[in-house]
Amino acid sequence: MSEASNTSDEKAGKVSERHQARSNARLAAVQALYQMDVGGADIGDVIAEFRAARLGRAYDGDTAEELAEDLPADADFFESIVRGVVERQGDIDPSIDGALAKGWRLPRLDATLRAILRAGTFEIYGRSDVPPKAVINEYVTVAKAFFEKDEPRVVNAVLDRLARELLGDV
């Protein structure tokens, strides 16, 4: 294999690692937002807890297993999502409400679904460094980790509608 091929493979590996770290950060952000929504936990406490003990760990019921090599998470990206949702929630929630199907309101949704939609909406509105299609795909994948029925399609439809309203064709 040539040196150019090795360099290309290394770059692809780093991009893949960064992508995985961001994907894991998104999943953790949804968990943190859920914890804050359901338990009323303070943002500072939740971020500190995740940074200290939960990022990079897999959870099976009540048991946490260290899987830092398998589940690296971009802690700064995680924090930017959580803080961004909290700071912009006054804009995010009405936007989601307006994008839901007729007769549906955000408070009526499952808390996990609310967290997913809030995080995805924040990224579409507040993270111009991430293409909207990538954001939508990422949060549909997160939804599939929690739900087996219609919720991933709801995430896709709502985030797609919000991205189109903000940016036009995505």
Q: Which string of DSSP letters, residue by residue, matches 13-71?
A: HHHHHHHHHHHHHHHHHHHHHHHHHHH---HHHHHHHIIIIITTEEEETTEEEE-TTTS
Show me where the domains of the chain are located: 3-167
Tokens 């780093």 correspond to 14
pLDDT, tens only, 93-108: 999 999 998 888 988 8
61 phi-psi bin (left φ>0, alpha ψ -120 to 50, beta other): left
Residue 69, pLDDT > 70, answer no
Residue 102 sits at φ, ψ, to 5 deg, of -55, 135
- For domain 3-167, give the CATH number: 1.10.940.10
pLDDT, tens only, 110-132: 999 999 999 999 999 998 888 99
pLDDT, tens only, 42-59: 999 999 998 887 676 554
β-bridge mates for residue 66, sequence order: 57
Asked if 135 and 120 touch (Cβ cutoff 8 Å), the reply is yes
Structure tokens at 162: 């919000």
> What pLDDT was estimated at residue 52?
86
121 residue type, one letter:
T
Q: What whole-number distance in Å separates Cα of residue 8 and Cα of residue 77?
A: 25
